[in-house]
Amino acid sequence: MGALVQGNFRKFSADLHFDAQDLPHSYAHITIDLGSIDLASEESEDEIRGKHWFNIQSFPQARFDSSDIRIVGPNQYLVWGLFQLKGISKPLRIPLKMSYDHGGRSAQGRFTLKRNDFDVGDGTWSATDTVADEVTVDYRFTLVP
């Protein structure tokens, strides 16, 4: 297996409404600009934007739309929804931890996706001996009223 590669997306939009006292009316709609990926090198970024990976010419965005949010512990929630990448939609469950400090709020968590579920790294790249199938996603949002 190759080395761990970390990256982030510089452009995304999020329409979030979170009210711990009214979870049925809370929601998350997140759109990620896949072309804004920031990796260790320009060569890697160009490769992952290409047709075998994200194929941003045909699928420039990924999207998550929540369908249910439930409390599972103090300031801890599970968010269910539909994640769409490369035209493929799959249900996804995302853990969320809310933090409150200095009058502000933040939401953070970690979950795992299987890239082959979304044809990311297709053809010869679908093998998992060089690039792992599981991709760990860490996220953090600072929420402002």
Residue 4 has pLDDT above 80, yes or no: no
- At residue 111, the pLDDT reads 96
Residue 91 has pLDDT above 90, yes or no: yes
Per-residue pLDDT reduced to its tens digit, 98-127: 998 777 888 999 999 999 999 999 888 888
Residue 143 has pLDDT above 80, yes or no: no
Cα angle 10, 13, 16; round to 5: 130
Per-residue pLDDT reduced to its tens digit, 9-67: 999 999 988 888 999 999 999 999 999 999 988 999 999 999 999 999 999 999 999 99
Burial 48-86 (b: 16+ CB within 10 A, else e): bbeeebbbbeebebbebbbeebeeeeeeebebebebbbb
Sequence-ordered list of residues with C-beta below 8 angstroms from that of 101, at least 6 positions apart, any chain: none
Task: Residue 104: name the closest of 145, 139, 140 by CA.
Answer: 145
The token duo for 112 is 């795992």
Residue 145 has pLDDT above 70, yes or no: no
Distance of CA 120 to the CA centre of its chain: 14
- At residue 58, the pLDDT reads 97
**What domains can be seen in the chain, in order of their start residue?**
9-143 (2.40.128.110)
- At residue 3, the pLDDT reads 63
